[in-house]
Amino acid sequence: MDEDTASEKPPPFWAALLWMTLYLALTNVGIIAIAHTMVPQHNGLAKFGIWILQLILILGLTAWVNGKTGGRGLLFVLVIGFSVYSLVYGLMLGHIPRLFALRETPLIPVRDAARPEYFGFDVYHFSDGKVGLKYVSHRTLAGKNGRSHYYLAPLLPPDWKRGDRIPAWVGESDLGLGVPEYWTEDWRGGYRIGLDSKFEDMLQDRDMDSDLRSQSGAPILTWSKDPKREFIRVGYGELAFFLAIDLIGLVSLLLSYILKPRDA
């Protein structure tokens, strides 16, 4: 009887803390890895499938760590937090992996944006160029939270003429209707849109229906006055949500040992 009771006692705090930390790290990395490897996310069904895979990961890891920690910590709260944020992370476009390996161009003319040496870069700095507001594409998507409006426009070199291939594009999505006002700003840079492949779909449709053809490898960017700083701000904002959930897990584990000691 005493042996059975002892076997049911939770592990010492240091062991539970180790397992909880490992659980949080694996869950964070797993959610991000699934979001970025299971691409492109071209439609709602694909995004839902990715979310289901993330849920399976979250629930599997939670069931595993529950036994390792003796059920200590608010694991059900962590499940809810990770489940909701794994869905939101895709909508926030996912910039975390590039935070620690950010690649930015030197100051280049817009016409060079699609050159092979800049393929896959995250941040672009331009010496010229403007948004072609006369050539904006618009698509409206209906969702549970209302209609989302997607806008795509070419980024044009100063000597561009109709018929020339487009070296770069700018995109924006919003719940409100109307071309982004900041596209009229005389800015000189941008950073890659992120996970949402709807802009790529729009670009493919435009290439088929218009004589405004894209260069191979042309990036689709968020137009920005200070693209590196904004990219970092957005990325760390996404990371902060993961860290907030992690903090809840660690604090709840600590409180469970304070309020209900292991030997109680």
User: In one letter, which amino acid is 230?
Assistant: E
What confidence tens digit (pLDDT) does each residue in 79-94 have? Answer: 999 999 988 887 666 7
The owner of tokens 């995250």 is: 122
List strand residue ranges (DSSP E) for 112-167, in order.
123-126, 130-131, 137-143, 146-156
Q: In this predicted structure, what is the pLDDT of residue 8? A: 64
Alpha-helix residue ranges (DSSP H) falling in the chain: 2-8, 13-37, 44-68, 75-91, 96-99, 198-209, 227-259
| pLDDT < 50 stretches in the chain | 1-7
Q: In this predicted structure, what is the pLDDT of residue 208? A: 61
Q: In this predicted structure, what is the pLDDT of residue 100? A: 86
Q: In this predicted structure, what is the pLDDT of residue 47? A: 74
End-to-end CA distance of the chain: 16
Q: In this predicted structure, what is the pLDDT of residue 75? A: 93
Whether this prediction's pTM lies above 0.75 is answered by yes
Decide: helix, strand or coil at residue 129.
coil
Round to whole Å and give the CA distance between 148 and 43: 14
Q: At what angle do helices 13-37 and 75-91 cross, to 10 degrees?
A: 20
Q: Which of 109, 118, 114, 183 is nearest to 152 (CA)?
A: 183
Q: In this predicted structure, what is the pLDDT of residue 262? A: 63
What confidence tens digit (pLDDT) does each residue in 188-224 have? Answer: 999 998 777 788 888 887 766 677 889 999 999 999 9
